[in-house]
Amino acid sequence: MPIATVNPATGETLRTFEALDAAGIERCLAEAAATFATYRTTGFAERSALLNRAAEVLDADLEAVAQLMTTEMGKPLAAARAEAAKCAKAMRWYAAHAEELLADERPAEADVRDSGATTVRAHYRPLGVVLAVMPWNFPLWQVIRFAAPALMAGNVGLLKHASNVPQTALYLGELFERAGYPRGCFQTLLIGSGAVEGVLRDRRVAAATLTGSEPAGRAVAAVAGDEIKKTVLELGGSDPFVVMPSADVERAAATAVTARVQNNGQSCIAAKRFIVHADVYDEFAERFSAGMAALTVGDPMVDGTDVGPLATEQGRADLEELVDDAVRHGAAVLCGGRRPPGLEQGWFYEPTVLAGVTDRMRVDQEETFGPVATLYRVGSLDEAVERANHTPFGLSSNLWTREDSDVARCVRDLQAGGVYVNGMTASHPALPFGGVKRSGYGRELSGHGIREFCNVTTVWRAD
């Protein structure tokens, strides 16, 4: 795949970039390793000041970087502005909380004495150079939610971003330099996917994090496993949105629309499978389909647009294949199901609701990365939980109910990294984020995320 900015609203190639050659990659690796040797010794106060300064730079650039993201991957401009603001918020959160999150831990005094020590503590030390392989769908947020905690922990970063958002990638590398970070603290590598293995195998790279597709995660994990290097993977999702009889159906249906089409439907944590109890199914289906059909599809640069284009032409083709397969096998299209008329130049697709989905359809097991929802009717909570878990993914989940017993059951039995009750899944710097099964492993954000790339060191002392 060429490294290029291609406007998904028009299909026009705006800029192309040459990939780094071997000498350029070597320069970046050498600089990262040299910088880590000194940056690792800085204190939290210095790191916090730098990260707060980066947030200030991003605040000043917010409109320009939002337009850049929209140009490169097609999200509505309002969503791009919100993404940039969220990144600044996360940087400030880690600047404020990293020191307490990485404070030394001390066991109980009885255990210290039992170990034969005078004092014992667990100390968090940075691992080193961390390679981040990041996707295009949240081109700023996915990177910042790694970079902010990693830099606050004393690590340095190398970014291999998706090849269709090269200008956003370059901006991220420049952002930290402009904020005053030492050269080499965070560098963008404009490289293709074929160069990732060589970088990851380099002895100067200590670990890797990847957000992306299951095949990409499997490839990076295999190389890292061979090299015995730590990885964190956040892969695909097919999150269930369960609606029970006691739910506020009107609010659930309205939230369901937003939960499905956020980021033009191209979000791993977007709700994708809507599992609704028979008692409220008809009302929910009517409200949900009407809400999806009422969305404005169009130019993402225009305020008021709800859904922009898919980020790539292949992404739209993949989505169309899933919908066509479902219809061939008997699914009913309640709304959408086609390319919107009048928007032939870009990679647009109508918000779509499919009902009557069965196990025979690919859409039942594969992730729909676009504004397509699948709707299921169930007769009990048992059936809802079974259907929710009937997927290889386990990123997050949504439950709508007023019954505490429903909540307890789903928290216990849903196979997911999160259960969001009477609301939609959303990431926040204070909340751990990640999944199970083929959605990956490890956690980002919160204290769990900042500790992922630390060497937890036991310090035992007898006087």
Residue 369 has pLDDT above 90, yes or no: yes
Identify the DSSP state of 433.
Answer: B
The pLDDT of residue 298 is 98
Residue 335: active-site member: no
Instruction: Give the closest residue to 317 by CA, choosing from 348, 361, 355, 351.
Output: 348
Quick count: other Cβ atoms within 10 Å of Cβ 288?
27
- Contacting residues for 318 by C-beta, under 8 A, at least 6 apart: 369
What is the Cα–Cα distance from 232 to 207, expressed in whole angstroms? Answer: 9
pLDDT by residue (tens digit) across 156-179? 999 999 999 999 999 999 999 999
Residue 456 banded pLDDT, cuts 50, 70, 90: very high
- pLDDT confidence band for 387 (50 / 70 / 90): very high
Q: What pLDDT is stored for residue 378 in this prediction?
A: 98
Average pLDDT, the chain: 98
Q: Out of 31, 72, 83, 234, which one is annotated catalytic?
A: 234
3-state class percentages of the chain: helix first, strand second, coil last, to nearest 5: 45, 20, 35
234 catalytic? Reply is yes
Q: How many residues does the chain have?
A: 463
Average of pLDDT values for 106-112? 97
Residue 1 has pLDDT above 80, yes or no: no
The mean pLDDT value for 190-214 works out to: 97
The H-or-E segment that residue 232 falls in is strand 230-234
Percent of the chain clearing pLDDT 90 (strictly above):
100
Cα 311 from Cα 9, distance rounded (Å): 8
Q: How far is 258 from 127, CA to CA, in rounded Å? A: 39
Residue 409 pLDDT > 80, yes or no?
A: yes
Q: What is the Cβ-side half-sphere exposure of residue 450, based on CA atoms within 13 angstroms? A: 26
How is residue 339 annotated by DSSP? P
Q: Is 437 helix (H, G, I), strand (E, B) or coil?
A: strand
- The whole-angstrom separation of Cα 255 and Cα 269 is 14
- Measure the CA–CA gap between 458 and 463, rounded to whole angstroms: 16
**Options 28, 87, 268, 335, the catalytic residue:** 268
Phi-psi region of 126 (alpha: psi -120 to 50; beta: other; left: phi over 0): beta
Residue type, 427: S
Q: Cα angle at 135 between 129 and 137, to 5 degrees?
A: 140
Q: Distance from CA of residue 31 to its chain's centroid?
A: 28
* Residue 420 scores a pLDDT above 80: yes
Q: Are 203 and 213 in contact (CB under 8 A)?
A: no
pLDDT digits (tens, 9 = 90+) for 216-235: 999 999 999 999 999 999 99
